[in-house]
Structure 1
Amino acid sequence: MESSFLIRPRAPYAVDPLNSRGRLVPEPTSPTRTEWQRDRDRILHSSAFRRLKYKTQVFVYHEGDHYRTRLTHTLEVSQIARSIARALGLDEDLAETLALAHDLGHTPFGHAGERALDACMAGHGGFDHNAQTLRIVTRLERRYAAFDGLNLTWETLEGLVKHNGPLLGEGRPETDLPFGIVDYARVQDLELGSFASAEAQVAAVSDDIAYNAHDIDDGLRAGLFQIDDLRAVPFLAELLEDIDRLWPGLDRSRRIHELTRRVITRFVEDTIRESAGRIAELGPKSAEDIRAADHAVVAFAGEIAAADKAIKAFLYPHMYRHDRVMRVMGDAENIVTDLFAIYRADNEEMPEEWRDLGDGPARAAADFIAGMTDRYAIQEHRRLFDATPDLR
């Protein structure tokens, strides 16, 4: 990669912490931290962030200490986001902040828990983990005397909500938005019809890069598929050929690591080149120009976009829908469904601070369950039911 990408001054289209749109509840500025650094620190010290340690990425926590959890995934996304943001002249702190917060709303047991909770909440506004992230940082974290939530800046909230693109437009009415986002839109306008900052777009792309690399790594180490199976993906076959040419006979563990690090490197470097080209073509003079664009400026190039789709197409049947994973996740969904039924019927089974948040018993139950770690959800199920799945 060209050395000019390694160190770049802040670009005019980067979001400037000195010109933040501020916080919903005004606060004095910090003499030692920028606005995004302050947001980052509030996220790092939040209860929701700590709980990511025991939330499933793909494998339930007790299956092994070497598999990713939501927390380790989040840290990997953060590292990748800082690297890309630095190369593009963006604000690293905002990109890092958004990466650290992006999964706060995930339920226990990964996407299986989310599917179960969304089904339970049918007729009550549904459940969406991105909307739940917004709900956590604006309402459910109750630590500060002056406000609920973390009172993050407008730019951080915008990035959390819109990192995957605009939520309104093309005939999509506001009523189609997830509950937590619709609810908050009545309080503060996050301009849901436009793109988010380039920093938010970096966080979204970094999430995809981390997923691709570490799910290959975890799937191989779990024995769900073998290294040679990956040759079905031309992009991965090319990387494996390069590794085998340079280090013939390399042991399996090092071979896996060499593959995953190459996946990250190729995706990051090509993303930087593609994004730099898109930004140059757009010619933005400010962060507002990025928001006003009719397309994302941070994205994969054509070849890497194809590789991204091919990797996901491989992982879906070989990992996410693998019989072993599906059996465990099916039992996990039942745990979430059982807990929801109990808490909705009798809110006294929940801690007092979760019983009445003003949105009805179903939403209170969903908020409580969504905040659980895997092991706490299992513990609660054992307390309330005679038999609990082993999830092994």
Structure 2
Amino acid sequence: MNRVVSFVDEQEVVALTRELVRIPSVYRPGCPDGNEERVANYVADLLREMGLTVIYEEVVPGRPNVIAYYDSGRPGKTLLFEAHTDVVTEGDRDSWSYDPFGACIERGRIYGRGSCDTKGNLAAAICAVKAIQRSQIAFAGKILLCIPCDEEGMMIGIKDFIRRGWADGVDAAIICEPEENQLCITQKGAMRAILRTYGKMAHGAMPLTGINPNTRMARAIVALEELEKKEMARLGKHPMLGWPSITPTILQAPVKGDAQINVVPDQCMTTLDIRTVPGQDHGVLCREMEAILERLAQQDPHFKALLEVIEERPWTLTSEQEDVVQAVAQSYREITKKEPVYNGVPGATDGTFLHKAGIPILTTGAGDRHIPHHADEYVDIDELVETTQLFALSALAYLQKT
């Protein structure tokens, strides 16, 4: 089985990574060259050339999922590799030392937006399947590739994949994300919420003729900070994920219209990026936030607020004893001659929803976990090749257990 490692072609995985990075796939509404469609078409054509069965499904116009499978022809389990096509914006190009979509190679690294998160890992998954094909090593079951859009946004791609029933027959999934080839068996949950406080417009010279939503928002934010501290004290620092958090991010007043220094606005809005760890119940946390607003309203008859949760992603935890974790750990030892490092994902991935669908997940892949979304994003070529080997050997290790 270990022979499959020798069929991994370094030049092939480097070339494919560079081709994918050179296709900008930042989602920009209304921009025909600014979404995932071009890179999805490229990948779909490549997978067809490999002889895989390929399904191309538009989630919304211009934003497709690519799904492909390599079937052994023998009954067995289904292992999913998942890697998204979208990347975040390059931001200010002047802050880059390299063309963000040039895929320059320097000092053993490929530079460019998405090289680390996660086009390098997408290339590794595809090239791992190629290595298995070349090796002609027998296995049972099938390898399923899910290459969705919109992981960096509201994750509509993976939600559509699950909604259409593709996840129903999956036994385990490897989420291909930049984790330095560490075996991430847990990840933080996330809740995205909008908090609004309401007031009454007034002249800044006569503020008592109105109701100031900003001071009410300030009280709410301070109270939410106290809730955060309470949760931190209750749960402690998670050994792999760190601290839970409740973070106000955007603060805006007025919400509509132009702001003026001498006008008390009628409304204030903040967004909350809430990150949870095992041991937290999202429903309980929501009720505690609502209770804070109720208490503030009892203290102030003019306090009026509305909390709206717009997205929820549960935390995940996979046992080290799961077959997929055991297979990747075994493969890591074979390739590196080292013990694997177990860790957690500080953010949320598409794996969140696969876990929610009942699929054991493991997140791993090439790339410094602190580099995604930075200027001069890069992936080390040596690590990328190791990842390709790890994916190929892990697939066989898992599927030969069937």
Greater RCO (CA < 8 Å, at least 6 residues apart): 2
Q: Which has the higher strand share?
A: 2
Whether the TM-score (by the shorter chain) exceeds 0.5 is: no
Taking structure 1 as the reference length, the TM-score comes to 0.24
Taking structure 2 as the reference length, the TM-score comes to 0.23
Q: Which has the higher helix share?
A: 1
